[in-house]
Amino acid sequence: MSATPEMADDLIVVGKIFSVHGVRGEVKVFSFTDPIENLLDYRHWTLRREGSVKQVELVSGRSTQKDLVAKLKGLDDRDEARLLSGYEICISRSLLPNLSEDEYYWHQLVGLSVINQDEQLFGKVDHLLETGANDVVVVKPCTGSLDDRERLLPYTRQCVLAIDLEAGVMRVEWDADF
């Protein structure tokens, strides 16, 4: 494992190591990709936790339905693997596949101003949640917001009318009193 960090602004979090698996140094991983197995397509990971950064290479991995088990190069000891618990798994944004014109990565939506059909500013996108029916945009109030309410908006075509990344705006069809 190397300790050479990549440019911090270029990194995107795609998973997190949360435990060990077995006695041969494998780690259990929560994947933030969809489907979760897509994380295994990236062979070089930057691990990051509280200012500590490590470069690792994925040797192999497999799905356990809910999470992944990964084998990292040079990591053969359970106790050594346990030390990686809590590290975020990051990759360079440039490695993400290109999306079609009307598709977005969640990280691209965070920070957008959310404005409804009546030109009312609800706040800014704080994060998104995955639910069974559809994803949900969590909008937190900001300077100039209509009010101090946090709003949970469905990330659907009926609600989200337009996204302009350059302008930093998400336009929604949503009543302010709802």
| Residue 123 shares a structural domain with residue 91 | no
CA 93 vs CA 81, 104, 105: distances in Å: 26, 13, 10
Count of domains forming the chain: 2
| Residue 86 shares a structural domain with residue 159 | no
Domain closes at, from 95, 130, 155: 95
Q: What is the C-alpha separation between 14 and 32, in angstroms, rounded?
A: 5
CATH number for 60: 2.40.30.60
CA 116 vs CA 111, 170, 176: distances in Å: 16, 8, 8
pLDDT attached to residue 7: 59
pLDDT in tens, the chain (178 residues): 444 444 566 899 999 999 999 999 999 999 999 899 999 999 999 999 998 999 999 999 999 988 999 999 999 999 999 999 999 999 999 999 899 988 999 999 999 999 999 999 999 999 999 888 899 999 999 999 999 999 999 999 999 999 999 999 999 999 999 8
Which residue range is the domain that position 159 belongs to? 106-172
CATH number for 126: 2.30.30.240
Q: Is residue 101 part of a domain?
A: no
| Residue 161 shares a structural domain with residue 89 | no
CA 119 vs CA 105, 141, 145, 150: distances in Å: 25, 15, 11, 17
Q: Is residue 12 part of a domain?
A: yes
> Do residues 114 and 137 touch, judged by C-beta distance below 8 A?
yes
Q: Which DSSP category does 109 fall into?
A: H
Domain closes at, from 95, 130, 149: 95
